[in-house]
Structure 1
Amino acid sequence: MREIVHIQAGQCGNQIGTKFWEVISDEHGIDPAGNYVGDSTLQLDRINVYYNEASSHKYVPRAVLVDLEPGTMDSVRSGAFGQLFRPDNFIFGQTGAGNNWAKGHYTEGAELVDSVLDVVRKEFTMAHAALLLLISLTVSVGPAICFYGASMTFTPGNRYPDGTVEMHFYYRESGKLPCDPQVSWVCDSGDCGVLTYADPGITDQDHSGQILWCQSERHMTTNVSGDEPFTLRGSGCCWANNVHDVREWMLRSLVDTGQRSDTQTTNRSPVSATIPNIRVPQNCFQSLHLLVHDPDGDDVRCKCQSCHQHPNIYLEEGSCTLSSNGTLDVGLHVLEFTLEDYPASNITLMNRNGISSVRNPYNQTANADPTPLSQVPLQFVVEIQPPVHSCAPGVNRPSLLPPTPLHGDVQHAVVGRVHIINLRAQRMGDSFLDFQVSGPWNMSTTLRNTSQGVTEAMLTWTPQESDLHHHVPLCFAAETLQSQSEMRCIVIVVAKSRVLSGEAEVFCEDSSISIAVSKASMKGIDQSWLQLRDPTCSLTSNDTHILGTMSLNTCGTTMEDSGDFLVFKNEINSFENPNEVITRRSQIKIGFSCQYPKVASVSNHYINKKSDYIFTESSFGTFSYTFDIFTDSNFSSRADPSLYPLEINLMDMLYMGIAAHSALPEVRLFVESCKATPDDNPYSALFYDIIKEGCIMDDTVAVYQSDSRTYDFGIQAFKFTGGYNEVYITCSVILCAEGSSNSRCAQGCLQESTHKRRRDVSKETARHYIMQGPFRLSRQTQHAAAAQDGGFHISAGTGVFAGLFIVSIVVVVGLLVYNAKKTRSPDRMYLMSNF
């Protein structure tokens, strides 16, 4: 009978190996403590193949568990079968060795080899037939790949006379090297046809030598002849070692090949992607903007399956934006999303038998669970790194510079012609390692270092005939070994012929954008076939130019938060007559944008001293908040800007006022929370709640609210214990439509036990954060004040305290002298050395 020594090595090897032992133990009737609890003698017939029988009649796996990181071993020990293994057979290194290739390969990794061999030899000696064991030794090492996430998009191809539709699927998968695909797609429901796989191609991989990550892309096709929607499923194990110990992954794509009534073709899925390895310092994670693009112009919603595991993360489903509600634990966080698309207006889907089904817009349907046009997966990991000194772009983290495309941009490429994308970034200190890119597999990257810590990358891609009409997602980030910039994503639309883009002038006003396109730059241009993103907004023209003017929140203008600036973007596009099969007009696309400072500071030294915070949302237009310090409870006189940072005396009242400014006549300000931190990081682990969920948490707070747009309050000054001398106050504020009974403003204070009603988010803005500070503890003391009088005064209480203090000192000294006389010389030396 063969006896097998099982060796599981590495993070993924241990995860898969642990699952293996769970299955084997179940087959042989062994419980997690090693006891036999089976009901058939056949289960024990060949149990010695995998187990040694201990003296207590318990069965111990003949397994050796190896990893450079102790965390992996801790995860195994704390698992359901963690106590099954022999404690001496856990072999591991020190924290950090698994993420440092040189440290793991040359130093600690090399030292572990002898330890592993010693344990293996020990297992040999416990066997009955050493020679047989040596011949039959089986080493079970899990694959080097750990799953980092995946995304999928699909688009229709040919529709044949018999109604069969050709479907193309583009699937990207991220993990550790080597870059072999781990997911096999199967038909989960409906008629999926026969999937045909092309060979995978590597989109990008880690070039640091640490073998940290890799991403591949695969193209799949199938011919679908069924009448009903179908679902593809991919599943497996294991995710990379993560904070919440998520192991198995599950990916699903819902496809409906019915013909849309608006586009007269099969629906195309939403388009999204991420870079393979997103890294953010713990104190810098505020928001993560995911790519949301739909080739058919549908409304895309992001649904999160795993967000219940992340109570400190808030998802805005409409914009697919992740925001932080608190501090995230350091380590990998698994995020699993499903992207769904809904039509902008009521449409029908007709199958080849002429049967139609209705699809409604997401925000107009009365159905609590509306039917999407399609569903595609977007899963990825975010690595939360230890906090850094500053989150300012370009300091501890790289900063993306022009002409780097903005997040959400749409570019056009032509089949057979080279398409170039230029990236540029800057970092103070160490130079860039690389740009991390998620794009088509045959895209190349060329790096060039320039002066002053600036690195440039030129991405080149030549679309092939098979890419025609494909909307290709491209995501990128600049990174060093220690840090990473924000992630940006764009879309490249592949066309047969070049898209025209003429010369234009853009005029950025306080509340509007104007554009003038030169007719001479585009021959044969016809204004009647041009439109803005919102086709209801009209363009005008004169003899030389085509003109358009729009406010910052109309005509399809979108807003992007790019750090210190708000970028408002729109575009002029050509369109076709939906009843025409051919056209003789060239395709035209002219993108334009205006950039506005997000924070207008009145001080060049303390940016938080007095700031206007400006925001724009579709339902509320452009609005802003001010956060001021006042000299008294009348709230009529603001603190002198020249006094910042303000010095305060403990226990004095500090008066602050928040005001909302909006052109809308009936709006209400709601202050949802205010908390104090000892630094300018609003997500600091050390904080003090002043207002929470609309409820006053500090007994000294007094509210002096005068109207619906202001919130004036006072609080007794305080400081943090532990040597902190400064205090910053951050408040989250919301603007609501006056009179809305279901808005957050109407809910008011929500205690933890209060049942939260469903909110009408169309009647309120998103939650925005504003900051005031720093406030600094005054240096003035009572001793300094007394010295100015030229005399010496002492109160009765102080005299009593001083007298008691002197008596205490005398008693302590007396006890020390008495004990010293009774102690031998060596003991006295010992006491003195430890004082």
Structure 2
Amino acid sequence: MAGPSRTLAKANVCIMCIVHPGAMCSPDTMAHGTMLLLISLILAVGPAVGFYGGSMTFTPGNRFPDGSVEMHFYYRQSSRGPCGSQVNWICESGSCGVLTNIEAMVTDSSGPEDLWCQSEVHMATNVTTNGAFILSSPGCCWEDNVQGVGGWTLRTHVDTGRRSDTQSPNRSPVSAAIPNIRIPQNCFQNLQLLAHDPDDDVVRCRFNDTNQHPNIHLHKESCTLHREDSLALGVHVFELILEDYPVSNITVTGDNGVFSVSNASDSNPTALSQVPLQFGVEILPPAQGCVPGVNKPSFMTPTPLHGDVHHAAVGQAHEITLRAQVSDNSIFDFQVSGPSNMSKTLTGLSNGVMMATLTWIPQETDLYRHVPLCFTAETLNSQSEMRCIIVVVAKARVLSGEAKVICDDNSISIVVSKASMDGIDQNWLQLRDPTCSLTSNQTHILGTMSLNTCGTTMDDSGDFMVFKNEINSFENPNAVITRRNQVKFGFSCQYPKIASVSNRYINHKSDYIFTESSFGTFSYSFEVFTDSSFNSQVDPSQYPVQVQLMDPIYMGIEASTALPEVTLFVESCRATPEDNPFSPVFYDIVKDGCVTDETVTVYASDSTKYDFEIQAFKFTGGFDEVYISCSVILCAKDSPNSRCAQGCLGQAARRRRRDVSQETARHYITQGPLRVARQTHNSAASTDSGFLHVSTSTGVFAGLFVVSIAVVVGMLVYNAKRTRSVDRMQLLSSF
């Protein structure tokens, strides 16, 4: 197949003239293209090769004394049938240098059946000017598809100018997809794609201008496809562009001067780079069911979670274990999109469980790469969700130390031995949420947080709920050099999903625990009470709490700390229809320290308590649940310049400079849900205080904890969403 493949590669541009008559092609080119196409078809033996997508990433290499910059490009191409030849990349504009490439290597394939294949090629160029250029690759033809897409164009925008924040050229977003995505028609709900950035920029995805999907909504910030209507059977082509934007305003210095680049939150930001991500999704006939673990494979621990970041070292074997289970079918393989020299070993286990061990030894050419790795578990009629992770390659293993993780019912504690981490400065360490500090003594670095604070994230690994956080070092953003080692400790607690109903309930929000250097460890409790005495809490097992519209709801916040002279200040409270304080649908109850809801009564209490009453309401639009989220601050008592002393800051109030040393950071705490009980005409009136109608929660956690410590790297970038306020009168709707 080598001869026909080379012929097809050379014919790509000429074939474009045939497929697209409007292209600028001479009669000789047309004739030559037609002849090459016929020869290719005659020579092709076996299954036909259809283009099935591609992805590109790039990263800068060496900067030489003459000012030229080495740029490395990694292109993956998927094919239906055997692996076809790689497409040809050309310089569309700018100064691209001379592009050289290493022969393409197969990353994964369906085997002798030649149903699908994916390969990767490494290209490099020395760019003598610091500026922007564009690489592109037009070609034909896509696998037969529902939209009738024939030719493709892959386009990569690069800028080799020096960024003011990293002092290096920009690195592109990193993404990939497996070669053959298959989803039954009745099982396609959403498809989450990988959108990672080595420079910690904000990554956004969008469709290209020529191939839109009316039945698919693309969430640009999370790079997730959501199905809005049924999709026709067959192959659907997705042609996406990934763009990266800096978190803060920066400058880029090139040969043509210094250019300002606004941050991602700007109304009209400019992308630092653009890379393509193209893939096909085959919509299969409807399946009998879509239940993970039953009708389709479900991943199990220790399979990495989507978005995880792994560390590998040059010349050292890095292993990744995948496990999946299904009861109605049999898993026969794991489909993988990864580096070309990665090996895969399959092991069949009992109870429908299959395990794959992926082994990769990074080479010198992989140094400093952020390598995408995507995978699915395969049966004949179904496929698991696609998960993608990042493997970061360094010269040696990252620093690791002795640590102990303690998993309690509602909190995680980590204790790191200083002796095992020589040269680490605790003052330059932070948790994932930098507002949460760490403490230390002479021998250990300590951190305690609840399961829903300090940037702790929750993921469903299949058979466990995993709560993860990390300790990482940070640098002065204006510094060019550092004399401190960079470290990251990933730590997590895993809770079995199958558990006894006698254990704690997940609907009720337990205490929120924080640690800050000036205030030590402190916590907030946020509870619903049965009456205005605020002495009797609603039992956690009886969440969500059912209420009637207009009923009084009694809620209280209390701070607990070892410091004797502190004051609790509630800066804001808002209601949302979901467990997300930043939901686009919200209703302000307290704003800037001022009560904004006319039904709220604040009760006099201790300086570390905030007790209030509010009349029950619901959101319009079919929402039956309400969550209450408040931002709270602790201040040193009687500090005249703290936020607590400023109190209510209405529009006319004059804001003063605050003394941040006398107060904690702002923390968000949530309680709920409150569920509005549906009324019927024959329902009896309540005989109690008009409040306590509760239903039993169904979500539980077991008391058995499995602790895992992994070394991870990366930073989550949170994107602010545009929000809209909800009018109070719209909330008080009846049934």
- Report the TM-score when normalising by structure 2: 0.64
Verify: 1:317 aligned to 2:239, yes or no: no
Tell me the SS of whatever aligns to 1:152: strand
Distance in 1 between residues matched to 2:41 and 2:385, nearest whole Å = 45
Kindly state the Cα deviation for residue 528 of structure 1 after the two structures are TM-superposed. Answer: 3.1
Match for 1:302 among 205, 221, 231? 205
Q: Which residue of 1 aligns with 2:160?
A: 257
Residues paired across the two proteins, number: 541
Provide the C-alpha distance between the structure 2 equivalents of 1:485 and 1:210, rounded to a whole number of angstroms: 21
Question: If you compute each CA radius of gyration, which structure gives the higher value, 1 or 2?
Answer: 1
Q: 1:266 to 1:662 in 2, by over 3 A?
A: closer
What letter matches 1:666 in structure 2?
D
- Residue from 412, 426, 439 that aligns with 2:311: 412
Assess, with a 3 A threshold, how the Cα gap between structure 1 residues 663 and 187 changes in structure 2: closer, same or farther: closer
Within 1, Cα distance between the matches of 2:65 and 2:16? Answer: 52
Is contact 2:336–2:375 with CA below 8 Å preserved after alignment? yes
User: Which of 577, 582, 588 lines up with 2:487 in the alignment?
Assistant: 588
Paired residue for 2:79, among 175, 189, 199? Answer: 175
In the TM superposition, 1:79-158 aligns within 5 A as 139=42, 144-158=48-62
Structure 1 pair 229–22 and aligned structure 2 pair: CA distance change class (3 A): closer
Instruction: Give how far 1:172 is off.
Output: 0.5
Distance, in Å, in 1 between the alignment partners of 2:549 and 2:436 is: 48
Counterpart of 1:341 in structure 2 is 244
When residues 344 and 198 of structure 1 are mapped into structure 2, their CA distance, relative to the original with a 3 A threshold, is same
1:743 aligns with 2:724: yes
Checking the alignment, whether the CA contact within 8 Å between 1:660 and 1:709 is kept in structure 2 is no
**Cα 1:402–1:438, aligned 2, differ >3 Å: closer, same or farther?**
same
2: CA distance between counterparts of 1:446 and 1:400? 17
Query: How far did residue 513 of structure 1 move?
Result: 3.8
Amino acid at match of 2:724: S
Distance in 2 separating the partners of 1:748 and 1:171: 55
Q: Residues 334, 510 of structure 1: CA spacing in aligned structure 2 closer, same or farther, 3 A cutoff? A: farther
- Give the alignment of 1:175-254 within 5 angstroms: 175-207=79-111, 209-254=112-157
In the aligned structure 1, how far is the partner of 2:212 from the partner of 2:468? 35
Equivalent residue, structure 2, for 1:361: 263
The 5-angstrom pairing of residues 283-298 of structure 1 reads: 283-298=186-201
Q: 1:348 to 1:23 in 2, by over 3 A?
A: closer
CA 1:603–1:304: 2 relative to 1, 3 Å: farther
Alpha-carbon offset, residue 501 of structure 1: 2.6
SS in 1 for 2:186: helix
Q: Which residue number in structure 2 is paired with residue 482 of structure 1?
A: 381
1:397 aligns to what? 296
* CA displacement 1:126-181 (0-9 Å, x = unmatched): xxxxxxxxxx9994869821111111110001112232111000010101232123
Corresponding letter in the other structure for 1:267: N
Cα 1:603–1:672 change in 2 (3 A) is farther
1:409 CA drift (Å): 0.9
Letter in 1 for 2:259: S
- TM-score scaled by length of structure 1: 0.57
Please tell me whether the aligned partners of residues 600 and 613 of structure 1 are also in contact (alpha carbons under 8 angstroms).
Answer: no
Q: Which position in structure 1 is the counterpart of 2:588?
A: 666
In structure 2, relative to structure 1, the CA distance for the partners of 1:428 and 1:710 (3 Å cut) is closer
**Residues of 1 paired with 2:108 and 2:414: CA distance?**
38
Candidates 342, 364, 375, aligned match of 1:443: 342
Aligned-partner residue type, residue 385 of structure 1: L
Q: Aligned pair 1:372/2:271, yes or no?
A: yes
Alignment counterpart, residue 472 of structure 1, candidates 357, 371, 380:
371
Secondary structure, aligned partner of 1:466: helix
Verify the 8 A CA contact 1:151 1:173 in the aligned structure 2.
Answer: yes
How far off its partner does 1:576 sit?
Answer: 5.3
Three-state SS of the structure 2 residue aligned to 1:666 is strand
* Higher helix fraction (1 or 2): 1
Q: In 2, distance between residues paired with 1:520 and 1:594?
A: 24
**1:659 and 1:711 in contact (8 A); partners too:** no
Measure the CA separation in 2 of the matches of 1:389 and 1:214: 28
Equivalent of 1:504, from 403, 409, 415?
403
Contact residue 546 and residue 675 of structure 2 kept, 8 A = no
1:659 and 1:709 in contact (8 A); partners too = no
Q: Flag the structure with more relative contact order, 1 or 2, with Cα contacts below 8 A and sequence separation at least 6.
A: 2
* Contact preservation (8 Å) 1:599, 1:613: no
- 2:365 is paired with a residue of what secondary structure? helix
2 CA distance for matches of 1:561 and 1:492? 21
The offset of 1:385, in angstroms, is: 1.8
CA distance in 1, matches of 2:442, 2:390: 34
Confirm or deny: 8 A CA contact 1:332 1:381 kept in the other structure. yes
Given that residues 270 and 339 in structure 1 are in contact (C-alpha distance below 8 angstroms), is that contact kept between their aligned partners in structure 2? yes
% same residue: 57
**Shift in Å at residue 199 of structure 1?**
0.6
Quick one: structure 1 residues 669 and 635, their matched pair in 2 at CA, closer, same or farther if it must change by over 3 Å?
closer
For residues 578-621 of structure 1, the C-alpha deviation after alignment (integer angstroms, 9 at most, x for no partner) is 777776755433212345689999899xxxxx996999xxxxxx
Q: CA distance change for structure 1 residues 459 and 183 in 2, over 3 Å: closer, same or farther?
A: same
CA deviation after TM superposition for structure 1 residue 562, in Å: 4.8
Report the Cα offset of residue 288 of structure 1. 1.6
Secondary structure (helix, strand or coil) at the match of 1:266 reads coil
CA contact (8 A) 1:307 1:335 kept: no
Cα offset, 1:388, TM superposition = 2.2
Using the alignment, how far apart are the partners of 1:275 and 1:165 within structure 2?
31
For the 8 Å contact 2:142–2:149, the answer to whether it is kept is yes
Contact 2:401 2:416 in 1 (8 A): yes
Q: Is 193-202 or 429-438 further displaced after alignment?
A: 429-438
Does the Cα contact within 8 Å between 1:345 and 1:361 map onto a contact in 2?
yes
Contact 1:280 1:385 in 2 (8 A): yes
- Structure 2: give runs of 5+ residues left out of the alignment: 1-10, 511-525, 528-539, 553-575, 590-616, 625-672, 682-720, 731-735
The alpha-carbon distance between structure 1 residues 577 and 744, as it changes in their structure 2 partners (threshold 3 A), is closer
CA displacement, residues 666-710 of structure 1 (integer Å, 9 cap, x when unaligned): 3786454699xxxxxxxxxxxxxxxxxxxxxxxxxxxxxxxx976
Equivalent AA in structure 2 for residue 230 of structure 1 = F
Q: Which residue is equivalent to 2:444?
A: 545
Task: Specify whether residues 187 and 566 from structure 1 end up closer, same or farther in structure 2 by C-alpha distance, changes over 3 A only.
Answer: farther
Give the residue type in structure 1 aligned to 2:263: P
2:232 is matched with 329
Equivalent residues of 1:517, 1:545 under 8 A apart: yes
1:630–1:468 CA distance, 2 compared to 1 (3 A): closer
Question: Separation in 2 of the partners of 1:538 and 1:630?
Answer: 37
Report how far residue 226 of structure 1 moved: 2.7
1:449·1:456 contact (CA, 8 Å) conserved in 2?
A: yes
Residue pairs, 1:664-743, within 5 angstroms: 666=588, 670=619, 672=621, 743=724
Which residue identity lines up with residue 360 of structure 1 in the other structure?
S
CA distance in 1, matches of 2:545, 2:240: 43
In 1, Cα distance between equivalents of 2:396 and 2:546: 62
Q: Report the Cα offset of residue 205 of structure 1.
A: 0.4
The separation in 2 between residues aligned to 1:593 and 1:212, in whole angstroms, is 39
Structure 2 letter corresponding to 1:324: R
Q: Which amino acid aligns with 2:588?
A: E
Match in the other structure for 1:795: none
Q: Cα 1:632–1:272, aligned 2, differ >3 Å: closer, same or farther? A: closer
Q: How far did residue 18 of structure 1 move?
A: 12
Offset at residue 20 of structure 1 (A): 4.8
> What one-letter code is carried by the residue in structure 1 that aligns with 2:56?
M
The 3 A distance-change label for structure 1 pair 22 and 478 is: closer
Q: CA contact under 8 A between 1:635 and 1:712: conserved in structure 2?
A: no
* Structure 1 segments unaligned to the other structure (5+ residues): 1-12, 30-45, 51-62, 65-135, 605-609, 616-621, 637-657, 676-707, 717-739, 750-835
